[in-house]
């Protein structure tokens, strides 16, 4: 049966709605045009509902609908969320969170003018690269340093500047795909160099490099396999041996470390991760790594090495295309200062998470559980593992305590709960393992504990 025509006639006009004080407040917040659009949609919906048999909503109801839809529409598309996955450097979730000092540095530099490319002493044009050069030299022992927009750009720049039109020798065990379409052979092709593969997937010796050498060879490239582990009957060549051979032949050695950890990972119960300091000390001419993996800073590519090599990169035409922006530079400088000041574990979020004590995490997981229990929700705490992620330290885990919600105790499916958690204004990303929803306090900032408990409780009760 068609809707009641008299109800349809009760529907207010656009003009009537716009005259209300609520509509005027919406116009002030979101503009007249967006308010009209939201009201029009709301009116159309009400009309359809009346035709389907509903009674006419009040003006207040219509205005509230329009306000909710405007507020939802105007939420930032890129927005913060809570990472309860236990994957510390989560590429999909924005990799490394920045320290509050780094954020402050961004704000200071970005909200006004700065000496980005200006020499204050001389009062003349300067270079944006100088701001972190001294720090990078001090922290890695390099002669010179340069920064780019990310490490993929650093690799492309390094290979283009040093080996375009010439041969680059690399072990078959290092022709890896890092993820997101970054495949070492493709990047090499793109930089105009010719790939010469040596050795086998699991074993490559110095004699393999020696035999590959021709008068067209420009450099030996070493790539950290990152997210990929070759174990068992394996052999690879040290940077020391590669550099010794390369330098005898007048070639260069470039080492793409990927994560580029400046600290001794073993101190944190993790596997040894080669550092830029070690690679340079062993003779590498150019070492590159990311700013937002184990360094714990902003997305950036960092190149450290011999002064003449860095100078060739700085002059290359690609440099301009891959340059770092001022906000990144501000955050990177502050992140590096944390290293210089010995504030890594206290100030850099990913290292605070890596260094978190299992007992501390267990206490938080239990608190979450108790607070949920107080709201009538059954949860458990179980032992589990956090991972480093970001293509760093594959297979390496840290013992943790997880909040676990079993499907059997929940009013709706695990998929539905996790979808509700994702749809919140501050989404919460959890993990589902078989019949359990798991949340790891290690990757959740303590100031978000209440938000997590509230999110779970609301998602389970509506």
Ligand X SMILES: *Cc1c(COP(=O)(O)O)cnc(C)c1O
CB nearer to ligand X: pick between 302 and 429? 302
> Which of 49, 288, 283 lies closest to 149, judged by CA?
288
Q: Which position among 38, 89, 106, 155 is part of the footprint of ligand X (CB under 6 A)?
A: 155
**Cβ 458 to ligand X shortest distance, Å:** 36
223 binds ligand X (CB under 6 A): yes
**Cβ 346 to ligand X shortest distance, Å:** 25
146 binds ligand X (CB under 6 A): no
182 binds ligand X (CB under 6 A): yes
284 binds ligand X (CB under 6 A): no
Q: Which position among 67, 171, 290, 401 is part of the footprint of ligand X (CB under 6 A)?
A: 290
**Cβ 249 to ligand X shortest distance, Å:** 25
**Cβ 397 to ligand X shortest distance, Å:** 19
**Cβ 327 to ligand X shortest distance, Å:** 16
Q: Which position among 199, 258, 389, 441 is part of the footprint of ligand X (CB under 6 A)?
A: 258
150 binds ligand X (CB under 6 A): yes
**C-alpha to C-alpha distance for 355 and 345, rounded to whole angstroms:** 7
Applying CB under 6 A, which part among 24-32, 75-83, 218-226, 360-368 lies near ligand X?
218-226
Q: Which position among 178, 193, 318, 388 is part of the footprint of ligand X (CB under 6 A)?
A: 178
CB nearer to ligand X: pick between 199 and 441? 199
Q: Which position among 226, 335, 386, 459 is part of the footprint of ligand X (CB under 6 A)?
A: 226
Q: Which position among 224, 347, 371, 448 is part of the footprint of ligand X (CB under 6 A)?
A: 224
**C-alpha to C-alpha distance for 45 and 144, rounded to whole angstroms:** 64
CB nearer to ligand X: pick between 7 and 226? 226
CB nearer to ligand X: pick between 57 and 258? 258
**C-alpha to C-alpha distance for 402 and 379, rounded to whole angstroms:** 10
**Cβ 445 to ligand X shortest distance, Å:** 23
Segment 385 to 424, residues that bind ligand X, using CB under 6 A:
391
Residue nearest to ligand X (CB): 258
CB nearer to ligand X: pick between 43 and 152? 152
Please answer whether residues 361 and 322 qualify as being in contact, where contact means their C-beta atoms are separated by less than 8 angstroms.
no
CB nearer to ligand X: pick between 236 and 436? 236
Q: Which position among 99, 151, 217, 459 is part of the footprint of ligand X (CB under 6 A)?
A: 151
**C-alpha to C-alpha distance for 408 and 270, rounded to whole angstroms:** 36
Applying CB under 6 A, which part among 43-51, 137-145, 160-168, 219-227 lies near ligand X?
219-227
In sign, the C-alpha dihedral spanning 53, 59, 60, 66 is positive
CB nearer to ligand X: pick between 225 and 283? 225
Segment 24 to 43, residues that bind ligand X, using CB under 6 A:
none
The 3 state secondary structure assigned to the chain is: CCCCHHHHHHCCCHHHHHHCHHHHHHHHHHCHHHHHHHHHHHHHHHHHHHHCCCCCCCHHHHHHHHHHHHHHHCCCCCCCCEECCCEEEEHHHCECCCCHHHHHHHHHHHCCCCCCCEECCCCEECCCCHHHHHHHHHHHCCCEEEEECCHHHHHHHHHHHHHCCCEEEEEHHHCCEEECCEEHHHHHHHCCCEEEEECCCCECCHHHHHHHCCCCEEEEEEECCCCCCCCCCCECCCHHHHHHHHHHCCCEEEEEEECCCCCCHHHHCCCCCCCHHHHHHCCCCEEEEECCCCCCCCCCEEEEECHHHHHHHHHCCHHHHCECCHHHHHHHHHHHHHHHCCCHHHHCHHHHHHHCCHHHHHHHHHHHHHHHHCCCCCCEEEEEEEEEECCCCCCCEEEEEEEEEEHHHCCCCHHHHHHHHHCCCCCEECEEECCEEEECHHHCCHHHHHHHHHHHHHHHHC
**Cβ 61 to ligand X shortest distance, Å:** 49
Applying CB under 6 A, which part among 106-114, 144-152, 273-281, 454-462 lies near ligand X?
144-152
CB nearer to ligand X: pick between 43 and 153? 153
**Cβ 97 to ligand X shortest distance, Å:** 16
**Cβ 159 to ligand X shortest distance, Å:** 12
| Contact residues for ligand X, defined by CB under 6 A | 150-152, 155, 178, 182, 223-224, 226, 256, 258, 290, 301, 391
């Amino acid at each position: 049966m068609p809707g009641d025509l008299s109800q349809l006639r009760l529907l207010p006009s656009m003009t009537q709605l716009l005259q209300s004080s609520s509509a005027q407040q919406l116009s002030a917040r979101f503009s007249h045009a967006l308010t009209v659009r939201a009201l029009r949609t709301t009116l159309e919906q009400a009309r359809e509902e009346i035709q389907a048999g509903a009674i006419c909503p009040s003006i207040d109801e219509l205005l509230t609908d329009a306000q909710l839809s405007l507020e939802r529409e105007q939420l930032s598309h890129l927005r913060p969320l809570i990472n309860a996955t236990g994957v510390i450097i989560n590429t999909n979730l924005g990799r490394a969170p920045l320290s509050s000092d780094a954020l402050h540095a961004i704000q200071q530099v970005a909200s006004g003018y700065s000496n980005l490319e200006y020499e204050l002493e001389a009062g003349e044009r300067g270079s944006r690269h100088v701001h972190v050069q001294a720090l990078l030299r001090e922290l890695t022992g390099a002669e010179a340093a340069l920064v780019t927009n990310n490490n993929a750009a650093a690799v492309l720049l390094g290979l283009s500047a040093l080996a375009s039109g010439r041969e680059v020798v690399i072990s078959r065990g290092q022709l890896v795909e890092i993820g997101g379409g970054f495949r070492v052979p493709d990047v090499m092709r793109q930089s105009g160099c010719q790939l010469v593969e040596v050795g086998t997937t699991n074993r490559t010796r110095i004699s393999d490099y020696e035999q590959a050498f021709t008068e067209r060879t420009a450099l030996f490239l070493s790539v950290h396999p990152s997210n990929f582990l070759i174990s068992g009957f394996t052999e690879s060549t040290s940077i020391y041996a590669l550099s010794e051979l390369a330098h005898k032949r007048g070639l260069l050695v470039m080492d793409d470390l990927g994560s580029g950890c400046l600290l001794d990972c073993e101190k944190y119960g993790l596997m040894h991760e080669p550092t830029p300091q070690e690679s340079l000390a062993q003779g590498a001419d150019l070492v590159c790594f990311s700013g937002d993996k184990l360094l714990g800073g902003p997305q950036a590519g960092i190149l450290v090495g011999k002064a003449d090599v860095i100078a060739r990169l700085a002059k290359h035409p690609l440099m301009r295309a891959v340059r770092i922006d001022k906000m990144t530079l501000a955050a990177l400088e502050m992140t590096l200062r944390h290293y210089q000041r010995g504030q890594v574990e206290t100030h850099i979020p990913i290292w605070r998470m890596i260094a978190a004590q299992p007992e501390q995490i267990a206490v938080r997981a239990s608190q979450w559980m108790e607070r949920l229990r107080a709201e009538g929700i059954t949860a458990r705490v179980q032992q589990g593992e956090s991972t480093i992620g970001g293509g760093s330290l594959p297979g390496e885990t840290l013992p943790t305590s997880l909040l676990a919600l079993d499907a059997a105790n929940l009013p709706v499916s695990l998929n539905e709960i996790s979808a509700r958690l994702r749809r919140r204004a501050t989404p919460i990303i959890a993990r589902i393992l078989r019949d359990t929803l798991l949340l790891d306090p290690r990757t959740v900032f303590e100031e978000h504990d209440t938000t997590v408990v509230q999110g779970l409780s609301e998602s389970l009760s509506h």
